[in-house]
Amino acid sequence: MTKETARSWALEEFGTAELCDARWRTRLIAMAAQAARRPGGKVSQVFNNPAERQGAYGLIESARVSRSEIAQPMFDAGARRCASLPFVYVLLDGSSVTIVDKAGTKEFGRVGDHVHGARGLKVISALLESPECVTLGLGSQIWWRRDVGAAKEDRAKRRTGEKETSHWLEAMDQTRAVMSVQAPRTRRWFQLDREGDAWPILMHADKEGDWFTIRGNHNRRVNLPYGSKTYLRTVINAQPVAGTYWLAVPAGPGRSARNALMVVRACEVTLDFRDKWTKKHFEKTVNVVLASEQGTTPAGEKAIEWMLLTNRPITTIGELMQVVQGYAQRWRIEDFHRTWKSGTCQVEEMELRSADAAEKWATILAAVAVRTERLKLLSRQEPERPASDEFSPTELRAIVLLRFGEQARRKVPEGAVPTLKQAVQWIAEIGGYTGKSSGGPPGSVTISRGLRDVLAVVRALAALEESCDEW
pLDDT per residue over 253-287, tens digit each?
A: 888 899 999 999 999 999 999 888 888 888 999 99
| 20, 49, 52, 55, 391 from 58: Cα distances, Å | 14, 14, 10, 5, 30
For the whole model, what pTM was predicted?
0.86
The per-residue pLDDT for 113 is: 61
As a whole number of angstroms, the longest Cα–Cα distance in the chain is 91
The per-residue pLDDT for 114 is: 54
The per-residue pLDDT for 438 is: 55
pLDDT band for position 455 (cuts 50, 70, 90): confident
| 36, 48, 400, 414 from 466: Cα distances, Å | 22, 16, 21, 21
Integer Cα distance of 281 and 227 in angstroms: 13
pLDDT band for position 152 (cuts 50, 70, 90): low
pLDDT band for position 191 (cuts 50, 70, 90): very high
Secondary structure class of 30 (helix, strand, coil)? helix
Of the listed ranges 144-158, 188-202, 234-248, the least confidently predicted one is 144-158
Count of CB atoms situated within 10 Å of the CB of 169: 20
Q: What's the half-sphere exposure (Cβ side, CA atoms, 13 Å) at 18?
A: 3
The per-residue pLDDT for 232 is: 96
Name the residue type at position 26.
T
pLDDT band for position 207 (cuts 50, 70, 90): very high
Task: Round the average pLDDT of the chain to a whole number and report it.
Answer: 89
* CATH fold group of domain 382-470: Transferase Inhibitor Protein From Tn5; Chain A, domain2 (1.10.740)
- Give the torsion sign (CA, 98, 104, 105, 109): positive
| Most confident among 38-42, 104-108, 181-185, 243-247 (mean pLDDT) | 181-185
List where CATH 3.90.350.10 sits in the chain.
68-341
| 20, 169, 219, 230, 274 from 280: Cα distances, Å | 48, 20, 19, 19, 6
Integer Cα distance of 148 and 120 in angstroms: 10
Q: Which CATH class is domain 68-341?
A: alpha beta
For 282-301, letters b (16+ CB in 10 Å) and e give: eebebbbbbbbbeebbeeee
List where CATH 1.10.740 sits in the chain.
382-470
Of the listed ranges 179-183, 190-194, 361-365, 430-434, the least confidently predicted one is 430-434
